[in-house]
Chain A
């Protein structure tokens, strides 16, 4: 009960600071450019902290450690890919994108290709990616609150939605910048402090609370454990025979009492309760390594796991640059050079963060093997402090972690809601501040609705799917649009439809298969290795076939994208569309004198 008290106070504190910073940030926000791009006046280091704060979502804060617990060393490709994506963004996209002067991703597409059609398609995919990314955040928020307080799962998602929507209503991008920058440092502290303390605790007494196992062996329960299967059917693999008590259904047959399990795979229906005695071997959810030998060594899963790893590298390396909520933050930089500096600083901040979840994941393998049975490994980081330190210290650490996780949901969701609302309000509605606010409410409602309807899967996996979608749609659009004169709007639209269509179908198939017994092959859950090259090829081939549709002014456009900032070619499209008469006059004036301001 006291643990719940500490965690709840920490969460309330995070929410209060979020509101306060949002209020401070939004006092001066009243125009559309304020809401969309914070007037493009965010300094590079603060913007980098805000980007990292927004990017370190539930998938990073909870998911990475959970995947390390389950899949071992191969899960380290997630943090590597999540970071390397910013390198690709820095190399190919950051500066030219800012110099385009666009205010959303669809606006960039229209500015570059001169067609409203490509803008509409981009809008559709921005909304898709945004929602696909938002849903796991809200679901994980539910999981977090359930894990630490026992409140129902829908409650956490709802709380996050309400806080985010209220904050964004107040000041849009201007309000959330400070919030996200603060939340990066909050999250870094919330993961670093427990890691240091728990690691020292582990070094002081490596055997307390764990079961002695060799490096080769199967994981064992440190104490007797009762596990209930939640709402989905799970399959577990048994490597070493064991006896346990089961109340419920195994492989569709009723069971009530002691059961012997030999080596093999068992299917457990929802509601089934398993009681393991202390020291019993741990069955592991199907698809993950069953013993420590395979867990500690890379690439032991055969050729299909190898392909999955490559697909993951592809999706994360190329997908980051297509994430609309990340890109929209780069529009808030004053110029292209600042955008580049921001991206570089993000690489540093992310590298600093990602060391810690790995350590927590390894520790939780020793202390929390019960999570391996039902696969709910996202809870590992939350449960570890109190399992390792069953006293006040553990409770306070647990509260810090809970607050960090909550900050992760809030900052990521804020960024997603701002980017989706910005696109919806400027492309579907007239784009006034009032439209932005309506779009915010609408986005929040859709997201929370879907979060309650769709089945929960690992946060990192769902997020990896949105990376695949981004890598197969916006990555080719941006890279070809920025560097290749030949891209036409017809080619871009075809590429978006083919790449995006394939990823969305894969997602639908995998959801269907998760309801009907997980029959889908591995590449369906991680399709980037196939879809990204096809999307690129489609854009190039169709653009070549429709060469005369290329915009006549393509040379001027590429000049805008690549000319160094001191030459003064940047024209901000949000001012041109939404600015006051005074701002427009100033821009026109700059433009007239722009050529003279060469130094």
Chain B
């Protein structure tokens, strides 16, 4: 029962998906045309990424770490915020008596407020994630 149970055709498909570089690191012929003169280094970095040389692996690890830090930070903040609400309501039941314009504050806090906040957090994450990716591409390309 190993991962080689996949059988031959599956294995071939997997290699196609991973790209030839994944299994057989070999010399790659690079033909530069005039417009891509400056691309020589970019190409080399991308090949380094695919072949997972120590440099390439370090680059990817850093990117993943950055993205994970953004995601975890925001998820943690939201989850903590959500989890604090029920316990606050439970410990301080007098909050239930507060009203604005005849509507109980807890109804506004739970029925209306969460949706714009969730969207806002999502928006912040999208911006951060896309910035990390842009930085990564720029670094590879330069």
Contacts and interface: CB of A to CB of B under 8 A. Distances in A.
Nearest to B22: A556
25 contacts: A76-B110, A76-B111, A80-B110, A91-B75, A92-B75, A116-B6, A116-B10, A297-B97, A298-B95, A313-B83, A351-B118, A352-B115, A358-B111, A551-B3, A556-B21, A563-B49, A563-B136, A564-B136, A564-B137, A567-B137, A571-B19, A591-B19, A596-B36, A596-B39, A596-B43
Interface in A29-57: none
A259 B66 CA distance: 69
Interface in B94-126: 95-97, 104, 106-107, 110-112, 114-116, 118-119, 121-123, 125-126
Interface in A284-299: 296-299
Task: Provide the main secondary structure of the chain B interface.
Answer: helix
B86 A577 contact: no
Contact of B50 (A306, A343, A595): A595
A91 B23 contact: no
A303 B119 CA distance: 31
Interface in A488-522: 489
A84 interface: yes
Contact of A298 (B70, B71, B89, B114): B89
Contact of A83 (B7, B16, B112, B118): B118
A416 B83 CA distance: 31
Contacts of B13: 573, 576-577
Contact of B123 (A91, A344, A483): A344
A527 interface: no
A456 interface: no
A350 interface: yes
A69 to B, nearest CB: 14
Contacts of B17: 101, 111, 560, 571, 573, 576
A73 B49 contact: no
Most buried by B among A297, A299, A348: A299
A377 B140 CA distance: 58
A235 interface: no
A409 to B, nearest CB: 24
A557 B16 CA distance: 12
Nearest to B74: A91
Task: Provide the main secondary structure of the chain A interface.
Answer: helix
Given A116-B5, A564-B137, A576-B16, A559 B60 contact: yes
Interface residue tally on A, bucketed by range:
35 or more
A551 B3 CA distance: 8
A562 interface: yes
Interface string A574-597: 001100000000011001000110
B74 to A, nearest CB: 6
A589 to B, nearest CB: 12
A115 B6 contact: yes
Given A87-B118, A114-B3, A116-B10, A556 B18 contact: yes
B64 A562 contact: yes
Contact of B122 (A297, A310, A343, A358): A343
A348 B43 contact: no
A350 to B, nearest CB: 7
A115 B5 contact: yes
A598 B122 contact: no
Contact of A355 (B79, B89, B111): B111
A547 interface: no
A347 B126 CA distance: 12
A350 B83 contact: no
Contacts of B106: 73, 297-298
A95 interface: yes
A549 B36 CA distance: 42
Interface string A329-370: 000000001001101100110111011001000000000000
B60 A298 contact: no
B119 A555 contact: no
Nearest to B56: A559
A253 interface: no
Interface in A308-322: 309-310, 313, 317
Nearest to B133: A564
B14 A555 contact: no
A427 B60 CA distance: 32
B114 A84 contact: yes
B118 to A, nearest CB: 5
A565 to B, nearest CB: 8
B90 A306 contact: yes
A546 B3 CA distance: 13
Contacts of A87: 74-75, 78, 118, 121-122
Interface string B1-35: 11101110010011011111111000000000000
B115 A555 contact: no
B22 A310 contact: no
A91 B74 CA distance: 8
Contacts of A573: 13, 17
Contacts of A341: 126
Contact of A340 (B16, B95, B112, B129): B129
Contact of B3 (A113, A306, A354): A113
A344 B119 contact: yes
B15 to A, nearest CB: 9
Contacts of A306: 86-87, 90
